[in-house]
Amino acid sequence: MLPLVLPPTVLGYGILVLMGRRGALGGWLREHFDYTVIFNWHGAVLASMLVALPLVLKGASSAFAQVDRNLEAAARTLRQSPWSTFVRVTLPLAWPGILAGTLLAFARAMGEFGASLMVAGSIPGQTQTASMAIYDAVQAGRDDLALMLALIVSAVSVAVLVLSNRFLQRSPS
Amino acid sequence: MKRLLLSLSLALPLMASAQQLTVSAAASLTDAFKEIAPKFEATKPGTTLRFNFAASGVLLQQIAQGAPVDVFASADQETMNRGVDQKVIAADARRDFAANTLVLVTPTQGAPAIATLADLKKPEVKRIAVGKVASVPVGRYTQQALGSAQLWSALSPKLVFADNVRQVLDYVARGEVEAGFVYRTDAELAKGKVAIAMTVGGHAPVTYPVAVVADSKQAALARDFVTFLGGAEAQAVLARYGFGKP
């Protein structure tokens, strides 16, 4: 849950210190595999994932908590194995909540700016996120481009919110 | 009571003359301007200078959108010209007060050997930091220089774009990129962490214009600061940081 409350720049700095070319893990990766996540889309994915992961976890854990234990017990009395019970009873019941959390995480990752910028930079066509493109467009005085991008991002965000609410309403309560 | 009144009457004229001058200046001027500030404030008792450092293009954008700024110092003529064209900068008090040089820097540790611009094509050079072309003057000078050397498109996949010249310097100093284009004055500030590989030509001369913002509420004081920058005291500070005469 920590990434949810930490400022993205703190998270970005942490990744930079750990995964940078002179970082503990980054230095090792670079030496042995000639690989780095810095200034590379892998870095943007890593940052977005860390930032958004708590939303998936939170959505999934509350979805699992809401599954009726009696239904699981009933499946067990009907000679279903624990695995079969999980796949055929628990997961289908929790699924809408997991999906809703995933959608929220997607929206959060789409808006990622601070951590990604520090780790992956803003390289057009490679690591530039939609939020960075808006920031760059405003800095360069291209308000038309900024407005267009802002409208697209807002439309997608609203769609995600509506969808995730639908899923939540469908989940057993 | 008498004492209180006396001190109040002494303080009043000071408070009346207390004024704040906001100066938006190119990121490369950060250290020199911070040192010039107390010298200017000493000539105008009751005046405080407030600085806003960023890429020149970003600063102009803020001014154009109505930021309460009095003086604008840019790292290139193009940005200042744009300001004058948009009528947000007063053209009459404009003057050039400093010059700089574009250099190619590499991290002092673990960088591949680079002696010419063509060496940047080597596979060991994976990333090169440059300023954003649209808003950062050093990025535009770099684009001109690499364009003159017919290397801009060949090197494009390796370029990492930074928000201002100090960010380019930071990327190189941390060793996250193999090379970067900055001004000589910035490279001097990070001696020990970055090494100057070469001086880069093939671009418009790097000169710094300063002017008064058209909407400034303290135009007279703003003009005084512009004049002060051309004076011996300010020029001595700029020279010490490695800036040339325009």
DSSP bridge pairs for B129: B160, B180
On chain A, the residues whose CB falls within 8 A of the CB of B176 are: 20-21, 38-39
What are the tens digits of pLDDT across the range A65-105?
988 899 989 998 998 898 999 999 999 999 888 988 999 89
Q: What is the pLDDT of residues B3-60, one digit of tens each?
A: 655 555 555 444 445 789 999 999 999 999 999 999 999 999 999 999 999 999 999 9
Question: Can you tell me whether residue A38 is helix, strand or coil?
Answer: coil
The complex scores an ipTM of 0.71
- B58 contacts A39? CB cut-off 8 A: no
Nearest beta carbon to residue A122 from set B161, B174, B176 = B161
pLDDT greater at residue B71 or residue B9: B71
Q: Where in chain B is the domain with CATH 3.40.190.10?
A: 2-99+206-240, 100-199
CATH code of the domain containing A128: 1.10.3720.10
- CA dist B36 and B19 (Å) reads 17
Q: Do A123 and B160 touch (CB under 8 A)?
A: yes
Domain B100-199, architecture per CATH: 3-Layer(aba) Sandwich (3.40)
- The pLDDT tens digits of the residues spanning B175-218 come to 989 999 999 999 999 999 999 999 999 999 999 999 999 999 99
Contact B57 A38 (CB under 8 A): no
Mean residue pLDDT of chain B comes to 91
> What's the domain range around A13?
2-170
Strands of the sheet containing B102-107, edge to edge, are B159-162, B128-131, B179-183, B102-107, B194-199
pLDDT one-digit tens code per residue, A146-168:
999 999 999 999 999 898 888 87
Task: Say which CATH superfamily domain B2-99+206-240 falls into.
Answer: Periplasmic binding protein-like II (3.40.190.10)
Which residues from A are below 8 Å from B79, CB to CB?
Answer: none
Domain count, chain A: 1
pLDDT for residue B14: 47
- What are the chain B neighbours of A38 within 8 Å (beta carbons)? 176
For range B112-136, the mean pLDDT: 93
Stretch B157-166: mean pLDDT? 93
Please report the pLDDT score of residue B13 as a whole number.
47
Task: Give the residue from B24, B60, B61 with the most A CB atoms within 10 Å of its CB, the best one to mutate.
Answer: B61
